Amino acid sequence: MKVPYAVRGGLFMCGLILIIFVLKVTCPVSIGCFADPFLVPILSPLLMLKVFGFSLGNFEPLYIILFWTIIGILFGYFYSTLKTANSHDEGSQIVS
């Protein structure tokens, strides 16, 4: 049974964010880390909270994971709709 692209996208983004968080926590501060360049884009949704005046306290990592999981679900859904639309268009072309 094939897993829908929206579920694949959500799982991929959730896993990616968790891996980057684990890499950042386990890397020593003095050396730097592979995950450092990724933190600014990953943590950018926190700016939305600050602009609107919300504070989540200890739940900010959960907010980041859920935000990027929803983004992955949306990208997977849009990819599946584009893929099915392109496959239907190819079959309707008249070959002369």
Q: Report the predicted TM-score, pTM, of the whole model to 2 decimal places.
A: 0.79
How many residues does the structure list for the chain?
Answer: 96
- Which pLDDT does position 39 carry in this prediction? 87
CA-based nearest residue to 10, from 62, 80, 84, 67: 67
Q: Is residue 14 part of a domain?
A: yes
d(CA 96, CA 76): 35
- Which pLDDT does position 87 carry in this prediction? 74
Per-block mean pLDDT, blocks of 10 residues, the chain (96 long): 91 94 86 84 88 85 93 94 76 53
- Which pLDDT does position 1 carry in this prediction? 78
Range of the domain at 63: 5-81
In terms of Cβ atoms closer than 10 Å to its own Cβ (0-12, 13-18, 19+), residue 9 is buried
Q: Is residue 53 part of a domain?
A: yes
Q: Is residue 61 part of a domain?
A: yes
Q: Is residue 12 part of a domain?
A: yes
Q: State the amino acid at position 59 in one-letter form.
A: F
Q: Is residue 95 part of a domain?
A: no
Q: Is residue 94 part of a domain?
A: no
Domain count, the chain: 1
SS3 24: helix
